[in-house]
Chain A
């Protein structure tokens, strides 16, 4: 059973870059067949898709965040990462990583999730 675990600083200062890593166990990112995604949830609010990456490095980003987001993959470590630049208090949220599958060729089924990590943006 695949498991995902987010890691990274829980506190980031405004204007700095938020960096998180998701470590995957129970399955290999380089096997292909899945996209690997970041999703966030503002306190008490709904889910927001940030973007996702394939093992080859192909990425897709939410247009509203695209100018500040970079998702990368390290297949040697079986990890993928999120960088969000120029953060403000509005970026305070629980950040989840997830494995995205497809039964139809369209990747949108968030099948497995990490437990989430709260990142607070504050000075």
Chain B
């Protein structure tokens, strides 16, 4: 089955700096890669996703890049703000409404 590895497990940045979280996946058939944000005590919520036919996608301060050959994808957050502090999960899936395999999460702390 699919295996998703995520790094780093914790990340501390100063407000205004950029944050990068990286994930690798094992199953070359995976074609859907979402990123979820989970605030303390809350549910995971989708912040951005990318499909394998696209190399990069951007939404305001958030961007995701995908390298199918190397089987890795990354989340980039620019101009970080305290409200970006949360746990971020990457995931990989195949097909429509398919099962997702999640990474182990990255706890991002944005300090003032």
Tell me if chain B binds chain A: no
Residues of chain B touching chain A, judged by Cβ–Cβ distance below 8 Å, are none
Residues of chain A touching chain B, judged by Cβ–Cβ distance below 8 Å, are none
